[in-house]
Structure 1
Amino acid sequence: MNNRTSLYIKFLIGSFLLLAGSCIGYKKTLYFQGAAETLPPPKLTQTYTLRVHDIVQIKIANPDAENPAVLSGEQGNIQSNVADAYFRDYYINDSGYVELPVIGKLKLVGYTIFQADSLIAKKAVEYYSNVTVEVKLASFKFMALGEFTKAGLCFVSNETCTIYEAIAIAGDATDFANNQKLQLIRTLEDGSKKIYHINLTDYSSFTSDNYYLQPNDILYLQAQKAKVDKQNITYISIALSAASFILLLLTRI
């Protein structure tokens, strides 16, 4: 075997190894690997505190009033969606306040939903008897980035949202997602960011303290190296074909 033939064989072996390295890692795409087991329920704590620019739905009803809806400022039958919520509900302004009919301005920034409910109820009884108060967060949204089928800004219609509900809303992971490397980026009250690393292939994700999302969270699902390799495969294939042809010619000279 001459040197040119040996070089040609080594080149083909190297090309094969390069292509093999671009294969998708099977275990990195699976959810819930390992033996099934009984898991404790995840923790659900109201740790999210209201912030400026949040939208809250506030209902103050008095069964004795002719029009109970007037107390919370509702008019007519309004559709329940994110766009209408801005007009129907209450926007927390830059100073952290909302302005309610009759009751006036209340500062809600820094309170949880439960605390805001109690605060408004305490103020409402100063003006009305036999009132009921209900407060909900109407602006629950999160950002899905990376290897999601429907990456982008996502809205949640419920008051709570788990990691896996968020993944479903974002269209599930793509074939190139590395489910071992999900990052949850959370904005804290002081504006700083905290990053949590979550392994979706392990059952421990169900018992994580971050199993439930908070409004304005960012989910970033990393891609496998195979995605980059696949994107370059067309150019590599052309280069390999050209190089193979040249080497084949050289072996015949």
Structure 2
Amino acid sequence: MNIKSIYPCCILALLIVSSCAPKRDLVYFSNMASSVTENNTQAQETRIHKNDVVNITMTSSNPESNLLFISNKNAASGTSLYKDGYRVNKSGYVNLPLIGDFKIEGLGVDEAQTKIAAELDKYVKNPVVDIQIVNFKITVIGEVNKPSTFIITDEKVNLLEALGMAGDMTVYGRRENVLVIRNEGNHKTMKRLNLNKQEAMNSPYFYLTQNDIVYVEPDRSKAVEYSQNTRLMPLVIASISAVAVLAAVLLKR
């Protein structure tokens, strides 16, 4: 090969290598129309599972009964009371003041509140029950800036909010292939969502439930970038370019 042609060939090689990276859509819901789009998907009702820790507050219109709730709750600290709430045992029960063992596993939070209040109505007037799941959590891992497990206080979070808590995806995160892993009864289900498409908001997996795991898969370009051969490629190309420049200078003399 003519020495004069080495330098242009190196430039061409650099352009080819730089153009090999696949084009990727980094915009969420990029197919969404400019007009306002309605999303009718609702968050699924939060249900209570075994080993959940629930904070159950019971009150009534009678101050004496309220004191009884407090004293009985303190007395239950040696049984099912756990930190800031009651841990649902392996049979799905919690031990409540006045009522005793009461099964709440599988019930929605609102449904559990209604049933406990109906049972309390046998003992006090106008009972009011409030339940919060203390250990409602989700986990976001993979190609995000701050992978972690997050405690959700209001028991309602969607996929975008979860990614926001994790510092959003890195540039390597595959927005078109986000995996949600969910516990449903005694088995796990998995669903992949394409966050480049607005249709993802209609999926029942867009709103997360307790203990969901969100995995953001890395793009193949990251694997290429971090492979041993690819890390050596810039050094090889730089060396060839240096030789080509030196040859060009020598030819001008």
Q: Give 2:198's aligned amino acid.
A: Y
Runs of 4+ displaced beyond 3 Å:
4-16, 72-75, 239-249
What residue in structure 1 maps to residue 191 of structure 2?
A: 196
Could you list the runs of 5+ residues in structure 2 that have no partner in the other structure?
75-80
Distance 1:228 1:68 in 2: 61
- The TM-score, its normalising length taken from structure 2, stands at 0.79
Deviation track 1:130-168 (CA, whole Å, cap 9, x = no partner) reads: 211112222110110111111121111112111111111
Name which one, 1 or 2, has greater alpha-carbon Rg. 2
- The TM-score, its normalising length taken from structure 1, stands at 0.79
Tell me how large the CA RMSD over aligned residues is: 3.0
Deviation track 1:3-53 (CA, whole Å, cap 9, x = no partner) reads: x98899777655543343246x441x111213234223222332x432111
What residue in structure 1 maps to residue 141 of structure 2?
A: 145
Q: Indicate how the Cα distance of structure 1 residues 70 and 223 shifts in structure 2: closer, same or farther if over 3 A, else same.
A: farther
Q: Indicate how the Cα distance of structure 1 residues 153 and 69 shifts in structure 2: closer, same or farther if over 3 A, else same.
A: farther
Contact 1:184 1:217 in 2 (8 A): yes
What residue in structure 1 maps to residue 211 of structure 2?
A: 216
Q: Give 2:40's aligned amino acid.
A: P
Q: Indicate how the Cα distance of structure 1 residues 70 and 163 shifts in structure 2: closer, same or farther if over 3 A, else same.
A: farther
What residue in structure 1 maps to residue 41 of structure 2?
A: 42
Listed as ranges, the matches of 1:4-43 within 5 Å are: 13-14=12-13, 16-22=15-21, 25-27=23-25, 29-34=26-31, 35-36=33-34, 37-43=36-42
Distance 1:69 1:213 in 2: 37
Distance 1:13 1:70 in 2: 83
What residue in structure 2 maps to residue 57 of structure 1?
A: 55
What residue in structure 1 maps to residue 232 of structure 2?
A: 235
Q: Give 1:142's aligned amino acid.
A: I
Q: Give 2:87's aligned amino acid.
A: Y
Contact 1:54 1:92 in 2 (8 A): yes
Does 1:226 find its partner at 2:225?
Answer: no
